Structure 1
């Protein structure tokens, strides 16, 4: 298993602005075989019902631990709130309905892209699928929902923190009116 460096490029309290920025970045990427992954902490029955409508087969476990309930055990998640949910490899069109269902609950939505294309005028080579990811954290500043927040952060993933990779981070941030703050998290791939 390897890791990518997830660099924060835009933080905003305006969720529609964050979604517009994600759409802009997706418009630059090769998404022909892209998919989307989800992680969230669901605290309310209302949000749970909305999320399960969007992703009916999602896996979950009680935040207090699997011994307090899980999808694997066949428990009812509404009886085990708060729950941690995850779902992997979904079609790209599931992302925005999932985000809309979240309400105030924290989540990470990760788009698995085919590639970040080359940008010759910026001196950037293409980045292969292995390191081409984009994550929007909703109501959280970090990838793992450990820092709940009332704002939302876009992270672009690159192979490592060396100069040419960070140059891509700066370039992508510029495309959405953001800026690279230096905040980078390690993200398992």
Structure 2
């Protein structure tokens, strides 16, 4: 397991605007072999039904702990609400339907990119898959749904070989009309 640093670069209460920003950044990234990962806290049967339709075979456990129910044990998630969702390696086309299914429940959607490409005019070298991610937190300001909110935040993960991602983070923030807030979180990958 490795870690990444996720820098908040764009926050808005307008979910379509957050999705537009995510799409803009995905258009910049190399995504030929990219996947998407999901983390969420699901509280209602309606949201659970919608999420289950989007992500068949959903991996989850009861928020009270796995001993209170999990997908591994074959339990019915509706009997264990609220549940934690932690589902990895899905196709990119699952991201927006997942987000639309959430309602007001908090979540993080992380795109595991192939690379952030070189941007010679900005003096930026390409960043490999190991250090190229994009996360949209929905109804939460943090990566782990510990700070529920009514807004949504774009986080970029980027680490250059020299260890200083600041120039790339500022450049990516500029592409979506955002700014690097200085807020960085450790992301477990």
Q: Normalization by structure 1: what TM-score?
A: 0.97
C-alpha displacement of 1:49: 0.2
C-alpha displacement of 1:62: 0.5
1:89 aligns with 2:89: yes
Alpha-carbon displacement from aligned partner over 1:120-176 (angstroms, at most 9, x marks no partner): 11110000000010000000000001000100000000227x774111000000000
1:53 aligns with 2:53: yes
C-alpha displacement of 1:86: 1.5
C-alpha displacement of 1:2: 2.5
**In structure 2, distance between residues paired with 1:164 and 1:44:** 42
C-alpha displacement of 1:188: 1.8
| Structure 2 residue aligned with 1:114 | 114
Q: CA RMSD in A?
A: 1.1
1:13 aligns with 2:4: no
**In structure 2, distance between residues paired with 1:144 and 1:108:** 7
Q: Detail structure 1 runs of 4+ shifted over 2 Å in the superposition.
A: none
**In structure 2, distance between residues paired with 1:48 and 1:155:** 25
Contact 1:135 1:154 in 2 (8 A): yes
**In structure 2, distance between residues paired with 1:85 and 1:173:** 28
C-alpha displacement of 1:179: 0.3
**In structure 1, distance between residues paired with 2:184 and 2:56:** 33
**In structure 1, distance between residues paired with 2:22 and 2:89:** 18
Alpha-carbon displacement from aligned partner over 1:45-89 (angstroms, at most 9, x marks no partner): 000000000001111100011111111111110011000012110
List gaps (5 residues or longer) in structure 2.
none
- SS at 2:157's partner residue? strand
- SS at 2:134's partner residue? strand
Residue-pair matches, total: 188
**In structure 2, distance between residues paired with 1:77 and 1:186:** 29
- SS at 2:127's partner residue? coil
**In structure 2, distance between residues paired with 1:76 and 1:163:** 45
| Structure 2 residue aligned with 1:103 | 103
